[in-house]
Amino acid sequence: MLLGLLTLCGLAVRPAMAAEPVRAALVLQWQPQAQFAGYYVAQAKGFYREAGVDLSIIPGGPDVVASRLLTSGQAQFATMFLATGIERRAEGLPLVNLAQLVQRSALMLFVHAGSNIREPKDLDGKRVGLWDNEFQLQPRALFQRLGVHPVIVPQSNTLSLFLRGGVDAASGMWYNEYHTLLASGLDPEELRVFFYRDMDLNFPEDGLYALEKTLAADPALCRAVAQASLRGWEYAFAHPEEALDVVQTRQREAHLPTNRAHQRFMLARMRDVILGQAADHVPPLGVLSRADFDRVAETLTRQGLLHARPSFADFYKGAQK
Amino acid sequence: MVLSAAGLIFALMSGVGYYLAREMLLKNAEENARNQAQALVQKIESKLAPIPRVPRSLAYELAEGRLDEAGILRRQRQALADNDEIFGMAVAFEPQPGVHSEDEPAPYTFRTPLGPKVSRLGGSAYRYRNMDWYQLPRELRRTVWTEPYFDDGGGNILMATCSVPFYQGSGIDLRVLGVVTADVSLEWLKRMVASVNVLETGYAYLITRTGTYVTHPAPGVAFNETIFTRAEEFGDARLRRIGQEMIHGASGFVATTSQHTGKPGFQVYAPLPTTGWSLACSTPRMNCWPTWAARPS
């Protein structure tokens, strides 16, 4: 029994004292910001190294497609939305989810408080800014459910069109665009917000992924990266100012604009959507619930975006509840 | 007792005199500060205000369908030759079946040390239809100035774009046919505002419509912070209110403490009407009554 336990421990954590650390790369969904604090902190604090992995982080951006980097072997791990992961798997890319981070959807719609849009059904015929791809899943599901037909206006990476009155409603993430509006001079009472998570469209977002063949070839590597990443997130939430120092250093290295107030807000909201707030009932850190997977897959199917639903067991390879 | 009464009257008169002198100095300081700010606004506006006429002129010709591509390039080169403030000009057409495709590149003529050069904006790496310079005038159907940005391909120069839509029809039949842009280098503006000496020890700064600092004497603030993130970081509710006044085009003169110098003083602010940006001048209080430091105790 002791031998079995020792064997299990050996599989669970790649021993750092053995051989050279395994080199691997993680590609993120976007450019360096507190949305990815846990990974940057894990790297900076040496958590990946302690787990026997020499992990480099590839920042995302408008021209970085995670699935392409995974397929080409430039990256072995990637972060993406749950909906994206399920879609790619259904399209034939053998992705597996190693850990689910964001449990509460941060996607939202905002309107000016003075507008006559008091509830989502008032969006009928109104001009609504939407981003592309996975960001349209929840809005389209909502519009379909309510039977409304807004005029969809492609949303850029700024909120200028909303701020200048060019659209009646705009999309944003709670941890990013919402604070951008406050940081542009709008007070909270000047906005009316609608969270998809409050409208029965709580789709978990950021998760950690790899290709099936990576997991099959080296399960210890995958477990090491997943566990070190979760450790990074726990550390970031427990030491937010230190985490912000790490993130802002990465941003400056990438010559990106950065300010403390915005990144601090972002990290605090990431805590809310990853760990949940007081009234939320979210799975433990890193766990993907079957119910959440089913809800997202069902909506993708009804939207005509999924023709063959992947099985949960094939898709999710992380810790169980 | 007579002496006490006289002393009391003297103290009272000194107090009133002090108060009146202080008020007068304050009023003078306010007037000086407002005048300085207004003079700077006018200097800046004299360079910015004429710029929209250039893309508008080309937009009118395009609306009338009078120009082919060779004509567009000629007009762009001429505009650069006639207007030193303009760095480059683009013309982007709205997609039209059989005429202009969705991914049609936009001809862009710009300055180089060896003379004007033409490039084509577009392709998978530069999808301009959702960029502010194209989308804002197209959707708002009016001339817009974008937020300032650094042009990576142009030597990291601080720029802003004045974008003008051109149309066909009117009223509900109005159809946007495309957008003409003029890219404007703002290096002169940065230098002008940074070199301001408000009453010898104050400073000036510029913010955009969203409160983003274009210039600021503190290192690391410009283009990283907005006046609102700075207010949030310092817990400065008054600075947030000043910022809100500024982005709504108001002018004002308020007593405040500068987060940059830590000194109490005043801020005067005024809008730049052409772009919707706003200029502020901050001065420490001591400058308002310079004789005060030498006043006998």
Residue in B131, B135, B225 closest to A259 by CB: B225
Please tell me the predicted confidence (pLDDT) of residue B150.
Answer: 82
Chain B nearest-CA distance from A229, in A, is 28
Q: Confirm if A193 and A109 have CB atoms less than 8 A apart.
A: yes
pLDDT at B65 over 60: yes
B296 band by pLDDT with thresholds 50, 70 and 90: very low
Q: Average pLDDT, stretch A103-108? A: 97
pLDDT at A68 exceeding the cut of 60? yes
- Of the candidates A110, A120, A113, the residue with the CA atom closest to the CA atom of residue A167: A110
Nearest-angstrom CA–CA distance, B187 and B59: 26
- Which percentage of chain B shows pLDDT scores above 70? 92
Rounded to a whole number of angstroms, the distance from the CA of A297 to the nearest CA of chain B is 29
Q: What's the confidence (pLDDT) of residue B31?
A: 84
Angle, helices A82-90 vs A290-302, to 10°: value is 60
Indicate if the pLDDT at residue B290 is higher than 60. Answer: no
C-alpha R_g of chain A: 20
**Alpha carbons within 13 A on the beta-carbon side of A131:** 16
Report ipTM (2 d.p.).
Answer: 0.90
B143–chain A Cβ distance below 8 A for any pair: no
**Comparing A272 with B258, which gets the higher pLDDT?**
A272
Residue B154: the pLDDT is: 53
- A282, pLDDT greater than 90: no
Q: What is the arithmetic mean of pLDDT over A252-273?
A: 97
B140–A182: do the CB atoms touch at under 8 Å? no
Tell which wins on pLDDT, A11 or A109: A109
- Rounded to an integer, the average pLDDT of B202-207 is 91
- For B224, which of A156, A164, A257 is closest by C-beta distance? A257
**B67-111 pLDDT, tens digit each:** 999 999 999 999 999 999 999 999 999 998 888 988 899 999 999
What number of other Cβ atoms are within 10 A of residue A227's Cβ? 22
Q: Which of residues 161-200 of A touch B (CB under 8 A)?
A: 161, 163-167, 182-185
Over residues A269-297, mean pLDDT: 92
Distance CA B87, CA B74 (A): 15
Stretch among A279-288, A291-300, B209-218 having the lowest mean pLDDT? A279-288
**Domain residue limits, chain B:** 53-185, 189-288
Where is A185: in which H helix or E strand? none
Contact A45, A235 (CB under 8 A): yes
Give yes or no for a contact between B133 and B149, defined as CB atoms under 8 angstroms apart: no
**Looking at residue B198, what is its pLDDT?**
58
- Classify domain A14-104+204-315 at the CATH topology level: D-Maltodextrin-Binding Protein; domain 2 (3.40.190)
Q: What is the DSSP string of B110-144?
A: E--TTS-EEEEE-STT--GGGSHHHHHHHHH-S-E
Higher-confidence position of A294 and A278: A294
Residues of chain A contacting residue B227, judged by C-beta atoms under 8 Å apart: 185
List, in sequence order, every residue forming a beta bridge with A28; answer none if it has no partner. Answer: none
Give yes or no for B261 touching A (CB within 8 A).
Answer: no
Q: Which residues of A touch B224 (CB under 8 A)?
A: 257-259
Domain B189-288, CATH class in plain words: alpha beta
How far apart, in whole angstroms, are the C-alpha atoms of residue B77 and residue B58?
12
For the segment A67-94, the average pLDDT, to the nearest whole number, is 95
Distance, C-alpha A211 to centroid of its chain: 18
B210–A163: do the CB atoms touch at under 8 Å? yes
Question: Chain A partners of B225 at a C-beta cutoff of 8 Å?
Answer: 259, 261
Is the CB of residue A63 less than 8 Å away from at least one CB of chain B? yes
Contacts of A154 in chain B (CB under 8 A): 129-130, 135
Average pLDDT for B163-192: 92
User: CB distance from B114 to chain A under 8 Å?
Assistant: no
List the one residue out of B250, B286, B287 whose CA is nearest residue B269. B250
More confidently predicted of B153 and A311: A311
Name the pLDDT band for A6 (thresholds 50, 70, 90).
very low
> Considering chain A, what percentage of its residues have pLDDT values greater than 70?
94
Contact: A156, B147; criterion CB under 8 Å: no
Instruction: Mention the CATH class of domain A107-199.
Output: alpha beta
Both structure tokens of A48:
């990946």
Overall average pLDDT of the B34-40 stretch: 87
Cross-chain Cβ contact A156/B125 below 8 Å: no
Q: What is the domain partition of chain A in residue ranges? A: 14-104+204-315, 107-199
pLDDT band at B257 (very low <50, low <70, confident <90, very high): confident
| A9 band by pLDDT with thresholds 50, 70 and 90 | very low
- Do A48 and A55 form a contact (C-beta atoms < 8 A)? yes
CB crowding A234-258: b at 16 or more within 10 Å, else e: bbbbeebeebbebbbebbeeeeeeb
B8 pLDDT tier (thresholds 50, 70, 90) = confident
From chain B, pick out residues whose CB is under 8 angstroms from the CB of A155. 130
Predicted confidence at residue B72, as pLDDT, reads: 96
Instruction: Give the dihedral of Cα atoms A141, A147, A150, A152; nearest 10 deg.
Output: 30
Strands B252-257 and B264-272: antiparallel
What is the rounded average pLDDT of the residues A263-269?
98
Could you read off the pLDDT of B13-23 as tens digits, one per residue?
Answer: 888 888 888 88
CB-CB contact of B170 with B231 (8 Å): no
Give the closest residue to B235 by CA, choosing from A261, A184, A243, A262: A261
Query: In Å, how far from its chain's centre is CA B158?
Result: 12
Tell me which DSSP letter residue B195 carries: T
Q: Is the pLDDT of residue B45 over 50?
A: yes
Q: What is the dihedral of CA A67, A68, A72, A74, to 10 degrees?
A: -80
Lowest mean pLDDT, pick from A146-150, B37-41, B288-292: B288-292
Q: Which residue has the higher pLDDT, B163 or B124?
A: B163
**pLDDT tens for each residue of A22-49:** 999 999 999 999 999 999 999 999 999 9
Across all residues in chain A, what is the average pLDDT? 92
Cβ contact (<8 Å) for A183 and B232? yes
Choose among A160, A167, A260: nearest Cβ to B147: A160
Contact B132 A160 (CB under 8 A): yes
Q: Between the CA of residue A126 and those of A117, A163, A178, what are the distances in Å? A: 9, 16, 20
Average pLDDT over residues A6-31: 70
The more confidently predicted of residues A8 and B173 is B173
pTM for the structure as a whole = 0.90
Output B41 or B9, whichever has higher pLDDT: B41
Beta carbons of B164 and B180 less than 8 angstroms apart = yes
CB–CB contact B140 A164 (8 Å): yes
| Cross-chain CB nearest to A158 (options B132, B227, B244) | B132
Q: Is the confidence at residue B124, as pLDDT, over 90?
A: no
Of B50, B31, B29, whose CA–CA distance to B39 is shortest? B31
* Radius of gyration of the CA atoms of chain B, in A: 25
Task: Evaluate if residue A229 carries a pLDDT over 90.
Answer: yes
Domain B53-185 CATH (choose: 3.65.10.10, 1.10.10.10, 3.40.350.10, 3.30.450.20) = 3.30.450.20
Judge whether B53-185 and B189-288 match in fold.
yes
Indicate whether B178 pLDDT > 50. yes
CB within 8 Å of A261: residues ≥ 6 apart: A179, A183, B225, B229, B230, B232, B233
